[in-house]
Structure 1
């Protein structure tokens, strides 16, 4: 049975959506998922000459404080993850006016507070026009971007003085205000790769002669995947559910003889 499950797991190829809960990093979510699958298949993780027991990766980091859709690649599907980094994404976010933080969201330390009583729904809607289309955006200091091979967020937490990355071109396809009850406002955002919703909320606050930070952030779409019933939550992180989802997303079909042999050997080692 163990060898059969191992063979089934290592024959899986393609992309599938999982739900990342708030508070966990994208890497932690992926590692948790991978550990569960290896345990179910009776396999141990090992790396030899950079070859892993099970190849898995995700298609773009989601903030640890955020929740929602994380696209995962398994087997040969990991080769397709680059498309997820540049494709269209959708988010629903709630911003808080009058409060700025060092991380640009609720997980950080408050760095500034400003009045927001003068801000109306009409003013917010007018400001959104400045952030639609091709725009320039300064990424957050707390981000996965790197300097000298190390993440900016890690450098900042270590007390290293880091300069903000220069503004870079990004694309916002759609931006709409869905709820306004000061100090909170909710937006639906559709954007391209490399876009930071936290920077958007910061910039909107500044455009309104105040400040703002993200209170809540949910990714609802990435590439062809949406946050729906097919998105696998933790209780469905098993080989059978992933196989079912991959069948509907047309995974690549390539020979996996070597990986099947690894599965059988690994399962036999666990049993012995």
Structure 2
């Protein structure tokens, strides 16, 4: 490859990666740091490969610690898609991505409610689903569009009086007060794929035990007058799938996609949970090809995976593939 013009090094900036489903955001970030800590793009050449003895204590930091890295909004292990990474002074600009507009694609599987509102959790309740049609789903979507109040799930890490909500649910502790709804904005919400029963998704195998259900009911009944976690239907016959459909939404920061799916299923007189979740946009960073001026494409995770596995072919500039792609999509912060 011919030589290209490279800004003065080392660089600070922001770039997006396409996180795969499975690993945590933190583990992905740790892997990125291993690469960036050995790259002249982000580390002074005279510091590469050398431990940092600058700290007052006697502990030595590895060369990986010579670069500062952060992310602009965690994705759970189930989720894949856009993860914004800040390097160096770019980490100071990550806060803007917590409240920016985000776009998601999510698959809802009807008939089963879980404690986490997604397929990673345990079954809480089974409910009818065969009566639901595409038309009924589309008719219900306007109720969840615009500025809405959204109640976070009780199995979340949000704290009430210093205690995570999931602790109340697991231990059967009465909530001191109702969970405070949040005002969020759903800019757009549409059904983009009616999967029906043509899919390979299934309800989770694990269910809440009798004691776990009682504990959850105790916590919920302390603030809600009508709570029932009893199954309304039995498991479908072997080979029969429950209905599934895909939603596309653009939402404000702080929106719980899982709660939209959970609440929509209730509105349909059913139950439901998330089985796939993809963040396709976070602010200016997007998956795939850019369509709007100012958008920035994300670097596929496979590019970093190959580098972590030892791929070392460099170009005329001495850059390997992951460095070239990051440099091509990097928003440089040179303040």
CA-based RMSD of the aligned residues comes to 3.2
- The equivalent residue for 1:190 is 250
User: Are 2:20 and 2:301, in contact at CA under 8 Å, matched by a contact in 1?
Assistant: no
Q: CA deviation at 1:38?
A: 2.3
- 2:86 is aligned to 73
SS at match of 2:185: strand
Per the alignment, residue 263 of structure 2 pairs with 203
* Higher RCO (CA < 8 A, seq sep 6+): 1
- Hey, what's the Cα distance between the residues in 2 that align with 1:226 and 1:47? 38
Residue 123 (structure 1) aligned with residue 136 (structure 2):
yes
Q: Deviations over 1:191-215 (max 9, x none)?
A: 0100111011000000111111001
Q: Which residue does 2:331 correspond to in 1?
A: 250
Q: Could you tell me whether the CA contact under 8 Å between 2:14 and 2:333 is conserved in 1? A: no
Aligned twin of 1:96: 109
Contact 1:13/1:246, CA 8 A, preserved across alignment: no
> Whose strand fraction is larger, Structure 1's or Structure 2's?
1
Alignment-derived partner of residue 134 in structure 1: 147
Q: Distance in 2 between the 1:21 and 1:88 partners? A: 21
Residue 3 (structure 1) aligns with: none
Matched with 2:45 is none
By percentage of residues, which structure has more helix? 1
1:31–1:248 CA distance, 2 compared to 1 (3 A):
closer
How many residues align? The count is: 246
Give 5+ residue unaligned stretches, structure 2: 1-6, 40-47, 198-242, 290-296, 308-318
3-state DSSP of counterpart to 1:86:
coil
> What does the per-residue CA deviation read over 1:22-81, in whole Å, with 9 as the maximum and x for residues that have no partner?
1211112111211233256535589948x9532111111112211111011111111111
Task: Quote the residue 2:68 is aligned against.
Answer: 55
TM value normalised by structure 1: 0.79
Hey, what does 2:190 align to over in structure 1?
Answer: 176
The 2-side partners of 1:123 and 1:141 are apart by 27
Q: Which residue of 1 aligns with 2:237?
A: none
Match of 2:10 in 1: 11
Q: Which runs of 5+ in 1 are unaligned?
A: 1-7, 255-272
Residue 178 of structure 1: how far off its partner (Å)? 1.0
What TM-score do the two structures reach when normalised by structure 2? 0.65
CA distance in 1, matches of 2:287, 2:20: 12
**Using the alignment, how far apart are the partners of 1:200 and 1:106 within structure 2?**
15
Secondary structure in 2 aligned to 1:116?
coil
Aligned partner of 1:38 in structure 2 is: 37
**1:261 alignment counterpart:** none
Q: 2-side partners of 1:98 and 1:117: how far apart?
A: 9
Give how far 1:118 is off. Answer: 1.2
